[in-house]
Structures are given as C-alpha cells and as structure tokens.
C-alpha cells in the first residue's frame, strides 16, 4: 500500500481482556517496528522484525506483550490480561533495509488503546 496502515485506530477494552493490534506495512519493506507512546511522551521502542523473525524484542515491557509477523508482511501486536497502564498509542513503522531509504522509518497513524 501507499503507507503504513494500522487497525483499529481506536480500541477501548476492560482491564484483564486480550487485545490484538494490526499493522500493514509498506509493500516491500522488510523491516517492521512497533513503538508505544504514552501521553506527553515520545514514542518508545517495543520490537523490531527483520522479515518474519523478531530481531530485537528488548523493548517489550513484560511477557503479556507478544508480536508476530508470520509471512514477513502484516504484523500483529498481542497484549494479554490488559492493565490500565497499557493505555497508550501503539505506533507501527516499516522501512526497507537496502537501497534508497534503507533504515528510514515510515510511521502509521497509530492505534490508540484505552484500558478501563
């Protein structure tokens, strides 16, 4: 697609529920990133995929968070047993890893998660 697409744009859930957030990167971009932005803060790194594998998941806050990218394109960020502190905007970005624009990230509009 023309840009990075994220769904849903807004998600309201109750504490303890399971949530999935989807990211559709730019076609052909092999690298995909998830960031989390809390109110009044800059985005913070969560996880980075190179193709289908998670090359760096050091930013995931705990084992309730998990992300997959089974076919090297669309990625899903999964949050189990949500807590109020998980409320944030979850941003996805993608980039090529070679050629023009290598490692230059293009961000989606984000998914705003609210945990009540």
20 or 57: whose CB is closer to other proteins? 57
Least distance (Å) from other proteins to the CB of residue 81? 26
CA pair distance 37, 52, nearest whole angstrom: 24
Strand-pair category, 111-115 with 10-13: parallel
The minimum distance between CB 27 and other proteins, in angstroms, equals 18
Shortest Cβ distance from residue 16 to other proteins (Å)? 26
DSSP string, 70-100: TTSS-EEEEE-S--GGG-EEEEEEEE-SSST
In this complex, which beta carbon is closest to other proteins, that of residue 41 or of residue 80?
A: 41
Interface residues with other proteins (CB under 8 A)?
6, 31, 33, 40-45, 48, 50, 55-56, 91, 95, 97, 103-110, 112
């Amino acid at each position: 697609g023309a840009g990075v697409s994220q769904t849903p744009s807004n998600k309201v859930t109750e504490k303890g529920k399971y949530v999935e957030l989807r990211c559709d990167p730019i076609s052909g971009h092999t690298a995909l990133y998830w960031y989390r932005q809390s109110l009044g803060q800059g985005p913070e790194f969560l996880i980075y995929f190179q193709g289908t594998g998670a090359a760096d998941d050091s930013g995931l806050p705990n084992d309730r968070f998990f992300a997959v990218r089974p076919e090297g394109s669309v990625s899903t960020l999964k949050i189990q047993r949500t807590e109020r502190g998980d409320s944030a905007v979850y941003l996805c970005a993608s980039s090529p890893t070679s050629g023009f624009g290598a490692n230059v990230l293009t961000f989606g509009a984000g998914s705003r998660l609210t945990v009540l």
